[in-house]
Amino acid sequence: MSCNGVIPLDYDSRRPAEGPPGACPHCGAPLDEHVRAMFNWVEIDQVPRGDARAVLPLALGALALLAALVAGVLWLLG
């Protein structure tokens, strides 16, 4: 957040929460919906969206290596 303004949270746990505000009502800076700064601590409670894509090439490479090893063992046995 660019400022230390307080954004009031009107939340009733019996109803679904509304989406986060897109910008700070005080300074207009865009707000990250995954970060909540609450008085004396900052809480990041959700994994960023890009983590799975970063690991995908490594997982596909490991899967290809495993498939090649299985094919090699089957070729040697058959």
Average of per-residue pLDDT values in the chain: 79
Model confidence, pTM: 0.37
Cβ atoms of 20 and 31 within 8 Å: the answer is yes
What would the two tokens of residue 1 be? 């957040």
Residues in the chain: 78
Domain boundaries, the chain: 1-46, 48-77
Q: Which helix (H) or strand (E) holds 37?
A: strand 35-38
Write out pLDDT tens, residues 14-40: 877 676 678 888 888 888 777 766 666
Beta-bridge partners for 35: 44
